[in-house]
Amino acid sequence: MHPHHRIIGAIDVGTNAVRLEIARAHPDGSLETLHQERDPIRPGEGVFLTGRISPEVEEKLVTTMRRYAALCRRYHAHLRAVATSAVREAKNGRDVVRRVRAAAGIELEVVSGREEARLICLGVLQGRPPAARSVLLDIGGGSTEVATAVGERPSELWSVPLGAVRLTQIFSTSGRVSEARLAALRSFSAEAFREAVPPLRARRLQAVGSSGTIEAVVGFAAQHKRATRKEIGRAVEELAGMSVTERRRRFEPRRAEIVVAGAAVLEAAMRHLDLGDITAVGTGLRNGILVELSRRDEGRPDARSAEVLLALGRRFQFDEPHATQVARLALALHDRLAGVHGLPPRARVILEAAALLHDLGHAVSVHSHHKHT
C-alpha cells in the first residue's frame, strides 16, 4: 500500500470549537499524530436561542474549513468530517453544509446524537479488555452523550439535549450565578436526564468522561484526572460564586464562560446514573473517527490484490462495469453501517472480492449462474 493511503484525517465541527487531526495509521493499529488544530470559532454561538448559525460564524467556519482542506490535501489524507448538535439543530444547517462543500470541497456529515456517541465510544474505549464494562459521558456544547459499553463496543447509547454552550445561553450563566438561577439550572439538567436516559445501575461500571468540559471540571474539582460526585457538587457551587474574571484565572477565556453550565450537567449526569466517581480522559469523537478510518484501511486490499481479482474476472469475460459498481455500493454500505454489523476489518476484503466476482458463473451457464459462481 502506498504510504499516502495510511494518512487519515478527522474534522469535528462541534458547538464550541472546530478541530482537525491528521494522523498516520501504523500496521499495529497505533496512530501517529502528524498535525492538529483547534479553532474556537463556536459554531453554536446563538443557535440555541435564534435557531440559526449567524453569518459571521458561518464565514469563520467556511474560512477554517478551507484551510483544513488545504492541509488535508498537502498530507494526502483520507478524510471524514462530521458536525454535531449546532449544525444538526440550526435551521440553516443544510445551507452551511452546502457552502462548505462548494468553498472547501469537504463533505460535512451531520451525524445523529447516537452516531456521535458511538464514535466517542470507539475513540475513548479503544483497546479496552473485551469483558470490561464502562459507562461513558461526553459533555459537548449542545448535547451530552451517554453510553454503556462492553470492551470498546457500545451496548446502549443516548443523547441528552444538554450542553455547556446551550445552557449558558438559556440561563445566562457566563458571569456570577445567583443561588436561584443555579437551582433552576440544576433542576432543568436533572429533568433532562430523567426524560432522556432510563435509570441505570451504573455504579458498578467504570465511569469515563471525555470532552474538554469534563477535563476542565474534574481538574478543578480534584486537581487530577478523577473526581467524586461530592467533589463535583462542591465545584458547581464554587464556580457559580466566581465572576468570569476570577474563572479566567483558572480556565482559558471561552471555557471560563461556559464552565458553570458544564459542571452542572456533569453533576446531574452523575446523580442520575448514580456514579460515585468519574475519570477524565483526553480522547473523544475525533479519535473515534481516526480509529474507524484506520480499521477500514486495514480491511481494504491493496492495488495489487484488486488487480488480481479484476484479472480473474476478465479471464472469465465478466461484466466489469457492473461488477465494479456492485463492489462500490457494497463497500459503501459496509462502511456506513459499521456501527450496526460490527464485522471485523478483514471482512471488508472478503466482501469486495465477493462483489467483484459475484457473476463469474455466467462463464459456465446463465442458468443458476450464482451456483456456478
Joined together, the cell numbers standing for residue 265 give 450537567
Please report the domains of the chain, with CATH numbers, ordered by start residue: 3-111 (3.30.420.40), 114-280 (3.30.420.150), 299-372 (no CATH)
Nearby residues of 320 by Cβ (< 8 Å), 6 or more positions away: 310, 313, 314
The amino acid at residue 284 is G
- Cα angle 348, 349, 351 (rounded to 5 degrees) comes to 65
- Residue 138 — very low, low, confident or very high, per pLDDT cuts 50/70/90? very high
Nearby residues of 370 by Cβ (< 8 Å), 6 or more positions away: 358, 361
Strand 18-25 relative to strand 7-13, pairing: antiparallel
Locate cell 452516531: which residue?
Answer: 115
Please tell me the pTM assigned to this model: 0.70
Report the candidate in 7, 4, 2 with the shortest Cα–Cα distance to residue 290. Answer: 7
Least confident of 204-213, 239-248, 322-331: 322-331
Least confident of 173-177, 299-303, 327-331: 299-303
Contact between 26 and 74 (Cβ < 8 Å): no
Report the candidate in 342, 346, 372, 350 with the shortest Cα–Cα distance to residue 359. Answer: 372
Locate cell 468553498: which residue?
Answer: 103
pLDDT, tens digit (0-9, with 9 covering 90-100), for 95-133: 999 999 999 999 999 998 888 888 988 899 888 888 889
Helix (H, G, I), strand (E, B) or coil at 132: coil
pLDDT, tens digit (0-9, with 9 covering 90-100), for 6-24: 899 999 999 888 999 999 9
Query: What pLDDT does 200 receive?
Result: 81
pLDDT, tens digit (0-9, with 9 covering 90-100), for 54-72: 999 999 999 999 999 999 9
- Cα angle 299, 136, 184 (rounded to 5 degrees) comes to 140
